[in-house]
Amino acid sequence: MTRAELIHEIKSKKTFLCVGLDPDLTKIPKHLLDAEDPIFEFCKQIVDATASYCVSFKPNNAFFEAYGLKGMASMEKTIRYIKANHPRHFVISDAKRGDIGNTSTMYAKAVFEHLDADAITVAPYMGKDSVSPFLQFPGKWAIVLALTSNEGSADFQLMEAHGMELYKQVLEKVSAWGSEENLMFVVGATKAVMLTEIRAMVPNHFLLVPGVGAQGGSLAEVCQHGLTKDVGLLINSSRGIIYASNGSDFAEAAAAEASKIARDMNAYF
């Protein structure tokens, strides 16, 4: 999906919601455990229920890989289902890869060519040759970790070197490796007040913003500091939507939560 196509979907649907798919067999409704593939069945129903209210889905690889080959097969089925049945949705593989060139190239081929996801999250700690391979696939995106919402983010991301915090150095360097057409950054919603400075550095890049909802991030604050003329944001919510209910009404409850966020987003168009 190109930048222009993503912007078109956002503006036509008046939402910039990304629904995170974090399937956990200890949390999904118990009646699904009797299905042939409980993980896929859970994700499929969540996807169908929320597709009208979002422009993106973000399967979190770890929540599938934890169940071995069956879980990884469920992830592949989920992504292929989205691509076949909701083809205008931007699919992010939340894998947080980051390794030297040859290995990154193979990670990219796995996600972009085999799974046909639109984007992958990438950790930039190993530098340019760990990120650049993901930028060589037309129409595909690398979403690079910049300023995350977890407590431990301060251990490295806020450290200063040569008068600049590390996350700002990441933004500065990485933004020169790709373009606004194939590169996004992860910025946690709990760091919303820092978005003003971030926007000064990357005024037009899309930002993937997790942390709204269960993690306590504020949609209003993120939009206040991070919106651009092209919106420029994908706001992710996972647990707050997919686990809104663990009963037989889980899909309807997920749709209701996604609808609430989408309605709040309507005000920014």
Q: Give burial (CB, 10 Å; 0-12/13-18/19+) of 79.
A: buried
Name residue 142's beta-bridge partners.
120, 183
Please choose, from the candidates 180, 150, 154, the residue with its C-alpha nearest in 3D space to the C-alpha of residue 167: 154
Residue identified by tokens 């699919």 is 91
Please choose, from the candidates 177, 171, 176, the residue with its C-alpha nearest in 3D space to the C-alpha of residue 199: 171
Kindly state the greatest CA–CA separation across the chain: 57
Q: Which of 14, 96, 173, 260 is catalytic?
A: 96
CB 249 within 8 A of CB 70: no
Name residue 228's beta-bridge partners.
231
Name residue 237's beta-bridge partners.
19
Tokens of 7: 């912007």
Q: What share of the chain is helix, strand, coil (3-state, %, to 5)?
A: 50, 20, 30
Known catalytic residue at 77: no
CB 44 within 8 A of CB 81: yes
205/199 Cα distance (integer angstroms):
8
Catalytic residue ranges: 96
